[in-house]
């Protein structure tokens, strides 16, 4: 039987906070269009802030800022603590823990603040978090998730390539040479090498080789089917870039999106979600923790080379995940990792991992 959600236990398990911490919870506010889930998320942010206070930690007022309108775009310079205007950078520099419960993902810009802090700042990014996740992915056993994440991360680091067969029959190869796997295991305590996680957590990820070595183009290639509003759009990938898009009206709109800024065409991530409490429901934050996903656009925050400076305008910056976990319209028939000297290992069959004991 699953245990009821305990917010303070989650915060203690994730951050292992000392009594000298300084905490801020932050959220974006709509410039124009709001929605009920966003409204409830802002209420959740207040509840999480209260939980930190009840734990006896120094906790700032809620930090709010105008929404960026795009996932992983750079944060604005100014926000508000209560009604007082502040420089966001100054607030984050003064803190040791930040929780970002946002509509538009702040993961990438927060990664820059974490790096600059030299490990002083620990961050949990929660774009699109919903209250119902307190009964699913947020209520998982994160000790067990960490074990799975580490097993997958080790395999991604050793792998030189990943061959994916989608449930549609299309095939895709991801070039993983000269890259290391990373894990988002839900642990963000003192001493963590890179203290930035998503919550809910539970995935291993890697940036495919993007072709930056002279004379060594990326071998990432193949076809990726994407389900969009009832239509299957087919992406043709060559040298780690989306070269061609075919389909109907959704394909036309997606092609316009990529044509507007070529940096968006970069294949930016291969991810392996492994949170056994995660369910596919349309929220990428949780969906990606349920199984296989890939992303396009910005990659430098995950270990790649494509950063905001590669986009033609700040509002064009994007890192967007596409999910193929069980419950998605398109899933994974088979995922094979390719290692040195021709060794191979099938790690996923029919959307399920084959390497974990039941």
Whether residue 3 is predicted with pLDDT greater than 80 in this model: the reply is: no
Mean pLDDT, residues 55-62: 98
Which pLDDT score, from 0 to 100, does residue 66 have?
Answer: 96
| CB-based burial, 35-60: b 16+ in 10 Å, e otherwise | eeebeebbebbeebbebbeebebebb
Q: What is the mean pLDDT of residues 310-325?
A: 95
- What's the longest Cα–Cα distance across the chain? 61
- Looking at the predicted structure, is the pLDDT value of residue 358 above 70? no
Looking at residue 33, its pLDDT comes to 87
- Average pLDDT, whole number, for the chain? 95
Coil, strand, or helix at residue 243? strand
Write down the pTM of the prediction. Answer: 0.87
DSSP string of 126-191, one letter each residue? -TT--GGGGGTGGGS-HHHHHHHHHHHHHHHHH-SEEEEEETTS-EEEEE-TT---EEE-S---TT
Let me know if 250 is exposed, middle or buried by CB neighbors in 10 A (0-12, 13-18, 19+): middle
pLDDT in the model for residue 357: 74
First and final CA of the chain: distance in angstroms? Answer: 16
Tokens at 80, concatenated: 């508000």
Count CB atoms within 10 A of the CB of residue 181: 22
Give the pLDDT score at 5: 86
Q: What is the dihedral of CA 60, 46, 318, 201, to 10 degrees?
A: 100
Q: What average pLDDT score do residues 68-83 get?
A: 93
Q: Which is it for the CA torsion 55, 60, 61, 66, positive or negative?
A: negative
Q: Is the pLDDT of residue 75 over 70?
A: yes
Q: Is the pLDDT of residue 4 over 80?
A: no
* CB burial of residue 191 (10 Å; 0-12, 13-18, 19+): exposed
Residue 119 pLDDT class (50, 70, 90 cuts): confident
Give the mean pLDDT of 57-85: 95
pLDDT at 281 over 60: yes
Mean pLDDT on 245-255: 98
29: left (phi over 0), alpha (psi -120 to 50) or beta: beta
In whole angstroms, give the CA distance from residue 159 to residue 154: 9
Q: Per-residue pLDDT for 90 more than 70? A: yes
> What band does 277 get if pLDDT is binned at 50, 70 and 90?
very high
User: Are residues 63 and 86 in contact, defined by beta-carbon separation less than 8 angstroms?
Assistant: yes
Percent of the residues in the chain that have a pLDDT greater than 90, as a whole number = 91
H-helix or E-strand spanning residue 223: strand 221-228
**Hey, what are 175's tokens?**
């070039």
**Mean pLDDT value across residues 100-119:** 95
Q: What is the mean pLDDT of residues 170-185?
A: 97
pLDDT digits (tens, 9 = 90+) for 127-163: 999 999 999 999 998 889 999 999 999 999 999 999 9
For the stretch 181-226, pLDDT in tens is: 999 999 999 999 899 999 999 999 999 999 999 999 999 999 999 9
Task: Identify the pLDDT of residue 226.
Answer: 98
Q: What pLDDT, on the 0 to 100 scale, is given for residue 32? A: 81
Q: What average pLDDT does this structure show over 115-129? A: 95
């Amino acid at each position: 039987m699953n245990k009821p959600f305990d917010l303070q236990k989650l915060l203690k398990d994730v951050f292992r906070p000392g009594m000298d911490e300084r905490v801020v919870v932050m959220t974006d506010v709509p410039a124009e269009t709001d929605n009920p889930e966003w409204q409830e998320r802002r209420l959740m942010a207040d509840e999480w802030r209260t939980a930190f206070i009840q734990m006896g930690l120094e906790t700032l007022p809620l930090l709010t800022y105008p929404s960026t309108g795009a996932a992983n775009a750079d944060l604005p310079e100014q926000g508000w603590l209560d009604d007082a205007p502040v420089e966001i950078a100054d607030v984050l520099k003064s803190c040791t823990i930040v929780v970002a419960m946002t509509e538009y993902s702040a993961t990438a810009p927060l990664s820059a603040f974490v790096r600059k802090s030299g490990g002083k700042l620990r961050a949990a990014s929660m774009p699109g978090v919903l209250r119902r996740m307190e009964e699913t992915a947020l209520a998982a056993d994160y000790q067990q998730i960490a074990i799975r994440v580490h097993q997958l991360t080790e395999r991604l680091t050793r792998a030189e390539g990943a061959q994916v067969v989608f449930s549609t029959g299309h095939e895709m190869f991801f070039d993983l040479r000269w890259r290391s796997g990373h894990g988002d295991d839900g642990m963000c305590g003192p001493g963590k090498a890179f203290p930035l996680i998503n919550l809910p957590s539970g995935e291993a990820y890697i940036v495919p080789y993007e072709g930056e070595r002279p004379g060594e183009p990326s071998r990432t290639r193949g076809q990726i089917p994407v389900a969009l509003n009832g239509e299957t759009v087919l992406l043709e990938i060559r040298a780690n870039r989306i070269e061609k898009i075919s389909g109907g009206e959704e394909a036309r709109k997606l092609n316009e999106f990529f044509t507007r800024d070529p940096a968006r065409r970069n294949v930016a991530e291969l991810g392996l979600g492994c949170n056994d409490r995660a369910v596919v429901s349309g929220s990428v934050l949780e969906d990606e923790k349920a199984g296989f996903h890939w992303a396009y656009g910005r990659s430098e925050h995950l270990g790649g080379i494509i950063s905001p400076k590669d986009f033609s305008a700040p509002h064009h910056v994007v890192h967007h995940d596409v999910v193929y976990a069980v419950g998605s319209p398109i899933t994974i028939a088979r995922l094979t990792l390719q290692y040195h000297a021709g060794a191979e290992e099938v790690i996923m069959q029919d959307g399920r991992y084959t390497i974990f004991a039941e």
